[in-house]
């Protein structure tokens, strides 16, 4: 019965301490010869969208309703950038919170304008 060493895939090297070829090394991980070898996936660095943060802060502060309008705008732009980023940007929840708070502020502005117009007539 002859034993033939299994050839490692490209980029993988036999384990020097196991000459029978039962394990391979690619510089980062070990793989057994009886298991399929999958490429290593590097984690993607993520960052929080600055526009999402600005949207949420402006939605909270209102700033005489100018902040509410900016919160809606920044929130929609942030959501668009987050969706297009392919997972490299975070902050979807903050952008949505900014949009909701911004619309609450705009609705409050409209309500104040309607009440003040009704009381002066």
Residues 91 and 35 in one domain: no
Residues 63 and 96 in one domain: yes
Query: Residue 22 is part of which domain span?
Result: 7-39
pTM, 2 dp:
0.66
Asked if the structure places residue 56 within a domain, the reply is: yes
Element housing 97 (H / E) = helix 92-120
Question: Residues 4-16: pLDDT tens digits?
Answer: 555 656 666 666 6
Asked if the structure places residue 1 within a domain, the reply is: no
Residues 76 and 105 in one domain: yes
Asked if the structure places residue 77 within a domain, the reply is: yes
Question: Residues 68-78: pLDDT tens digits?
Answer: 999 999 999 99
Q: What's the domain count of the chain? A: 2
Instruction: For residue 51, give both structure tokens.
Output: 């526009």
Question: Residues 80-120: pLDDT tens digits?
Answer: 999 999 889 999 999 999 999 999 999 999 999 999 998 88
The percent helix, strand, coil of the chain (3-state, each to 5) is 50, 10, 40
Instruction: For residue 121, give both structure tokens.
Output: 């007539």
Of 5, 7, 77, the C-alpha closest to 37 is 7
Residues 30 and 57 in one domain: no
């Amino acid at each position: 019965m002859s034993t033939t060493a299994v050839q490692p895939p490209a980029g993988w090297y036999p384990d020097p301490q196991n000459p029978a070829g039962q394990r391979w090394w690619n510089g980062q991980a070990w793989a057994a010869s009886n298991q399929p070898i999958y490429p290593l996936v590097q984690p993607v660095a993520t960052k929080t969208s600055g526009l999402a943060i600005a949207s949420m802060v402006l939605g909270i502060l209102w700033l005489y309703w100018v902040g509410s309008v900016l919160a809606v705008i920044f929130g929609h732009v942030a959501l668009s950038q987050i969706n297009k980023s392919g997972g490299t940007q975070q902050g979807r929840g903050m952008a949505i919170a900014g949009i909701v708070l911004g619309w609450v502020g705009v609705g409050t502005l409209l309500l104040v304008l309607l009440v003040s117009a009704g009381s002066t007539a």
